[in-house]
Amino acid sequence: MKYYTIAPPEILKPYVRFYWVLEHELTAGEPEYVYRSIADSCTEMVFHYRSTFDELTNNGIENGGPSGIQFQSTRYRRFITKQSFGIFGAYLYPFAVPLLFNTPSSQTSNLALDYDTFLGTSGRLLEEQIMLAPNNQQRADILSAYLIKQLRASKLKNDRIITCIKQVIHTNPNKTVAQLADTYNLSARQFDRLFKEHAGFSPKTYLRVVRLHDAIQQYDSSKSLTQIALDCGYYDQSHFIHDVRAFTGYHPGFYFSGKAEGFISIG
């Protein structure tokens, strides 16, 4: 398994956390690969430049279709491929959706759309250019040029709520909703509306998803799961177990064993 990241240009860093690449060569003893995407507070633009995945659902296997955008989500999904694969992606802050695509994040939560559906002709052309690029650095350059063009045409911006969402993701997911609203001098109603518009979920739900990723980042063999739960602000062990199960589909003991499907910590 080969996984690495590529930094976006400076102008995009406030909106794009990083580009990423995942490649894998299936061997004779590995007839298939199953990937599980977990709940996430951010949005991903995904391009399958070598083979594709099908989705594993409760009703069986569904055609995975083309590349596309997986928006911020509270759900986990499972995908399977029987071929060696290569994937290029961009990990975007959720507020990049209204800024770059003129669509409130509240309208895209838990959706996965192909580029033609979400972006029309420009999305089709973007996908074609990235699929035909000879290497991943050029894919990053092509996507950067597209996103910069989108950014320059954007008229939406709310610095206070953007700063708040970044604070939640990077520094302190343990603050209460009331504390966050007070910090940014907003009423509870204003804060809830603006936060949902830019992050996709209510502040309470979003904090739960971010707290899960904080727990994943904190995990190492020297810490017990109980200690991680306490450090990440869970009220008790039962709340921790409930959220891990809801957002990953696994009991914490198994998920944090490193044996879970597609276990990749992306930061």
pLDDT for residue 204: 92
The CATH number of the structural domain formed by 159-255 is: 1.10.10.60
More confident of the two residues 221 and 57:
57
pLDDT for residue 16: 97
pLDDT for residue 218: 82
pLDDT for residue 132: 95
Alpha helices in the chain (DSSP H): 96-101, 115-119, 121-132, 136-152, 159-170, 177-183, 188-199, 203-218, 225-231, 237-248, 252-255
pLDDT for residue 262: 65
| Band of pLDDT at residue 267, cut at 50, 70 and 90 | very low
C-alpha–C-alpha distance, residues 192 and 186, integer Å: 9
Residue 244: HSE in the Cβ half-sphere, 13 Å Cα cutoff: 23
C-alpha–C-alpha distance, residues 77 and 115, integer Å: 19
For Cα atoms 176, 182, 43, give the angle at the middle one, nearest 5 degrees. Answer: 60
Close Cβ partners of 9 (under 8 Å, ≥ 6 residues apart)? 144, 148
Residues 97-101, mean pLDDT to the nearest whole number: 94
What is the pTM (predicted TM-score) of this model?
0.90
Q: Which stretch of 124-133, 178-187, 217-226, 242-251 has the lowest confidence by average pLDDT?
A: 217-226
- Sort 158 into a burial class: Cβ within 10 Å, 0-12 / 13-18 / 19+: middle
CA distances from residue 236 to 52, 208, 211, 230, 248 in whole angstroms, order as listed: 40, 14, 13, 7, 19
Close Cβ partners of 82 (under 8 Å, ≥ 6 residues apart)? 26, 31, 32, 33
C-alpha–C-alpha distance, residues 29 and 144, integer Å: 38
Residues 254-261, mean pLDDT to the nearest whole number: 82
Phi-psi category of residue 65: left, alpha or beta, with phi > 0 → left and psi -120 to 50 → alpha? left
More confident of the two residues 208 and 266:
208
Architecture of domain 2-152: Sandwich (2.60)
Which residue(s) pair with 46 in the sheet?
68, 89
pLDDT for residue 266: 47
- 19-51 pLDDT, tens digit each: 999 999 998 888 888 888 999 999 999 999 999
Q: Is the pLDDT of residue 265 over 70?
A: no
Q: Is the pLDDT of residue 105 over 90?
A: yes
- 141-157 pLDDT, tens digit each: 999 999 999 999 987 67
Mean per-residue pLDDT over the chain, rounded? 90
Q: 166 in helix, strand or coil?
A: helix
Q: Is the pLDDT of residue 234 over 70?
A: yes
- Sort 149 into a burial class: Cβ within 10 Å, 0-12 / 13-18 / 19+: exposed
| Band of pLDDT at residue 192, cut at 50, 70 and 90 | very high
Task: Give residue limits of the domains in the chain.
Answer: 2-152, 159-255
